[in-house]
Amino acid sequence: MPQSFTSPLSSQQVKSAALSAGFAVCGIAPAGLLSAERAGQRETMLRRGFHAGMDYLERNEEKRLDPRLLIPGARTVISVAWPYPPRPAQGAPIAAYAFGRDYHQVVKAALRDFAGRLGLAEPDVCRCFVDTAPIDERYWAWRAGVGFIGRSGMLIVPRLGSRFFLGEIVTVLPADTYDVPLTPDIASHRLCGVCRRCLDACPGGALTSDGLDARRCLSYLTIEHRGPLPPAASRWMHAAPGTPLFYGCDRCTEVCPYNAACPVAEAAPAEGKVPSVLAPSFLAENSGDAAFWTHLSVEDYRALFKDSAVKRAKYEGLMRNIAAFYAPADDVAAPSATADASAILGEASPAAPSVASATTDKTSAEGQDLLPR
């Protein structure tokens, strides 16, 4: 039954419907302007060029700062998190999130199912968003109490980790109860404790005190970036710790203690619900086959990655990545990471941040001793 335009949403019913639609976590926040703190972070990011070639982040800034401009009369932002599992043991050298069907399709379908369960109709009463609209997803997930922003810049859900896709329903209806953030401000890393594993693990040093510098980030370089890769990219792809990948980068996720012992893998959607694009039998036979990947044809690319997020890089970008990934070690120079950064940024590189190692004898194998109790 369609929801009345005057009666508020029941927060209890909203969260029950979210779980029924397949989401792991749901939070509700009043729609409004981003906090001055977050707006300042965005201004710094754009001013310093941390968005690299993602020019779309410069557009529609007024809507990013205020989701009420996305739908007239918006009063509520419902934020949800959809889980995905770690990379399979036998898997192609691509990031975990890119396995299975394109998450844009999967999560958008689930959001519309969720909205339907609440009787919310698009586009008059609500709009559903998954990573493609000018809305600050991580901010609203923080504001709605879904999780907190870690030093990695990722949204982390306590007891569930950070392997999630985020989605939002912005609606004109109010809610009877709104959630509160888990931390007093979005920049607080209190729930990370003294852990800095993600900073230590990032091969390009992309994680800065002012946020993620995409120019140093392998995920950006191998997915969004158009044109040649920086000379250091090949070495960064194989840098320890973490699994060598030619599409994306999972290192900050792999080393995060919040992901060390969480039920996300079990909670992830079943194979039947989210069909695998990359067949397990194929992965077992070809996951590390240099000859296969370096000779991948356009036709095989289209068949293999049909309905896959990997298509974001396009065929030319993927083959560029593969060439760098399988480049002979002798072809890759090995200057310091700081020198590499200077070449990429076209400027004097700042000194590498001084961070305490998270792999000392004082920590447990899982890193749990690094987190606040």
Active site residues: 131
Question: What is the C-alpha separation between 254 and 252, in angstroms, rounded?
Answer: 6
Helix, strand, coil shares of the chain, percent, nearest 5, are: 40, 10, 50
Residue closest to 31 by CA, chosen among 184, 143, 118, 147? 143
Q: Which residue carries 């009787």 as its tokens?
A: 119
Angle at the Cα of 289 (from 90 to 283), degrees rounded to 5? 30
- Please name the residues in contact with 174: beta carbons below 8 A apart, sequence gap of 6 or more: 8, 9, 30, 75, 76
Question: What is the C-alpha separation between 126 and 112, in angstroms, rounded?
Answer: 10
- Please name the residues in contact with 40: beta carbons below 8 A apart, sequence gap of 6 or more: none
Residue closest to 127 by CA, chosen among 81, 58, 82, 173? 173
DSSP helix/strand/coil, 180:
coil
DSSP helix/strand/coil, 130:
coil
Question: What is the C-alpha separation between 353 and 202, in angstroms, rounded?
Answer: 12
Amino acid at residue number 350: P
Length of the chain: 373
